[in-house]
Amino acid sequence: MRLLMVLLAGLFLSGCENFYAKYYDEGIKEKTIPCVSIHEDDQILRARIVRVFTEEKIPVRDSCPYTVEVTSKFLSQCNNPQAKSIGADFDGFLRFDLKSGGKLLYRCQMDWKGEFTDKRIRDMVRRMKKDLKFSENKKGAK
């Protein structure tokens, strides 16, 4: 019985994230992306995202032709009285839009329940690495 409870708890906790990904340009599947530039207005969140991309060996450069535009929403930022009083299906979302020349190529989004951690950012970056081809960051490259 105890094992069943542990398995059910694990199943419940693993269901706290939902990923969505979509290709807007199928050609991006065949290209190798040499680097990304991260566009996020919140400098603290941007620094966290850049750190994770770097740890995952994806080169981050401000002058890169490929940009990752970040959109995020945390329920704590929501001012809707109805959402605050009855809750919501999720506590936040994080979306990465990969663009080149202003054209949307790929989108990856995660909705979650619970606390927002760097693990959630890492999960998003790893999803992108699974779906797309990136050049590996050479030692010492910035």
Domain of 50? 17-134
pLDDT tens for each residue of 93-135: 999 999 999 999 999 999 987 888 899 999 999 999 999 999 8
User: Which pLDDT score, from 0 to 100, does residue 123 have?
Assistant: 94
User: What is the domain-level CATH number for residue 58?
Assistant: 3.30.160.670
Structural domain total, the chain:
1
- Is a pLDDT exceeding 90 seen at residue 91? no
Q: What angle do CA 44, 106, 13 make, to 5 degrees?
A: 60
Q: Tell me, yes or no, whether 139 lies in a domain.
A: no
Q: In terms of pTM, does the model score above 0.85? A: no
Q: Tell me, yes or no, whether 116 lies in a domain.
A: yes
3-state secondary structure of 42: coil
Q: Tell me, yes or no, whether 141 lies in a domain.
A: no
DSSP state letter for 141? -
Q: Tell me, yes or no, whether 5 lies in a domain.
A: no
| Residues paired with residue 111 on neighbouring β-strands, in sequence order | 18, 93
Is pLDDT larger for residue 77 or for residue 57?
A: 57
